Amino acid sequence: ERQEVLPPVDYVEGFTGAVSKVLGVWRFRMKTQYGQYMEVDALIIEGATTEFLLGEDWMLSHGVKIDLVSCEMKWYDGDVKKVVPFACTRTGQPDDQPAKVRLVRRARMQTQTCRNVAVAVAAPEGAVGVFMPRPRTKVNLLLAPTLTTVRGGKIVVPVLNLIGATTKLPSREVLGTWAPTSDDMTVIELDGELTNAKVKRWLDEKFGEAKPLSNEGELRMGHMGAEDKEVFLQLLRQYPALLEPRTGCPPATTLPVEHEIHTGNEPPIKVRPRRYAQSEHGVIDGEVKG
């Protein structure tokens, strides 16, 4: 919608030094990927009517914060927090860093059901990547790593509710990260050929027989069939071998890891909990020393 106001300038100079004429001021009301609306009064430049740049004046007036780590633009419109994701480029190439994905709209998870929910991601159309869920406080909601394709700035992720109670997922909640697959990565599709017999044969050929665990009788493996339990136990029996040290390299996996911090000749900094104000601490320290 064109605004009946005079533009602040008649001509603008581009990055290359070319001068372009300002056609006028238009107001755009846009809907974000999360269903939120934002209004922008933009200057339309001759020869560049299909896109515009958000200037510092608009960002300063709205208190916009640009988060280059999560590639998101955030600000408050009254009491409502608004989030707009964007794509980053690095040395002329699309950024391959993982991007945060947020729930597009509020979802209601029924009791013991699996539902596909849409999450927004700042990625080009048709890009293929892997969704990795983040640790959640609600352990009853199960999200698994999923290979997805971006359609309309969104990806679809299955969410499983494991308990007998309805759970609500608020809109714009961060569910995890999405990272594009590289060109040298081969994604193997599941075709039903991964059977228990083939897995057991591979374990026998790769590792051979393993000793039974000392607490196999105390393991609780849930509702599993006899064949599944046998394969699962065979995998657990091979795990202690991964902890054995190897010549010239650490073991394949390591259990408790300790990290030492050496400060040289300087004593370590001991943080004292502050129970009083800083001025009161000064008075207390003076009385104690006196």
Confidence of residue 137 (pLDDT cuts 50, 70, 90): low
Average pLDDT (199-204) is 81
Q: For 128, list phi and psi in degrees, rounded to 5.
A: -105, 130
Query: What CA–CA distance (Å, rounded) separates 45 from 178?
Result: 36
> In the 8-state DSSP scheme, what is residue 216?
G
**Whether the predicted pLDDT of 94 surpasses 60:** no
- Give the pLDDT score at 167: 65
Average pLDDT over residues 61-82: 82
- Model-level pTM? 0.44
d(CA 57, CA 61) in angstroms, rounded, equals 6
For 57-66, the pLDDT digits (tens) are 778 888 888 8
**Range among 43-52, 75-84, 109-118, 185-194 rated most confident:** 75-84
pLDDT value at 170 more than 70: no
Contact 155, 148 (CB under 8 A): yes
pLDDT of residue 200: 82
**32: closest CA among 96, 99, 80, 79?**
80
Contact 40, 54 (CB under 8 A): yes
Does residue 112 carry a pLDDT above 70? no
Cα dist from 104 to 30, 34, 100, whole Å: 16, 5, 12
Q: How far apart are CA 157 and CA 170, in angstroms?
A: 15
Whether the predicted pLDDT of 4 surpasses 70: yes
Q: What's the confidence (pLDDT) of residue 174?
A: 72
Range with lowest mean pLDDT among 59-73, 115-129, 146-160, 258-272: 258-272
Lowest mean pLDDT among 3-12, 31-40, 248-257, 258-267: 248-257
* Confidence tier at 207 by pLDDT (50, 70, 90): confident
CA proximity to 169, closest of 157, 153, 154: 157
Q: First CA to last CA across the chain, in angstroms?
A: 75
Which segments within 32-98 are labelled E, that is strand?
37-45, 65-67, 72-77, 80-85, 89-90, 93-94
Using one digit for the tens of pLDDT, what is the confidence trace for 234-255? 888 877 776 676 676 666 565 5
Helices and strands (DSSP H and E) totals, the chain: 4, 17
What is the model's pLDDT at position 272?
A: 59
Q: 257: pLDDT confidence band, cut at 50, 70 and 90?
A: low
**Residue 189 DSSP one-character state:** P
Q: What angle do CA 16, 18, 21 make, to 5 degrees?
A: 135
Instruction: Kindly give the residue spans of alpha helices, DSSP state H, lying in the chain.
Output: 56-62, 196-206, 226-242, 278-289
Which secondary-structure segment (H or E) carries 256? Answer: none
Q: What are phi and psi of 184, to 5 degrees?
A: -90, 10
CATH of 96-180, one of 3.40.640.10, 2.70.40.10, 3.40.50.261, 2.40.50.140: 2.70.40.10
Predicted pLDDT of residue 109: 60
Identify the bridge partners of residue 117 per DSSP, sorted by sequence position. Answer: 157
What pLDDT is stored for residue 102 in this prediction? 66
With 60 as the cut, is the pLDDT of residue 187 above it? yes
Backbone angles phi, psi at 284, to 5 degrees: -65, -45
> For the chain, what are the domain ranges?
11-85, 96-180, 196-242
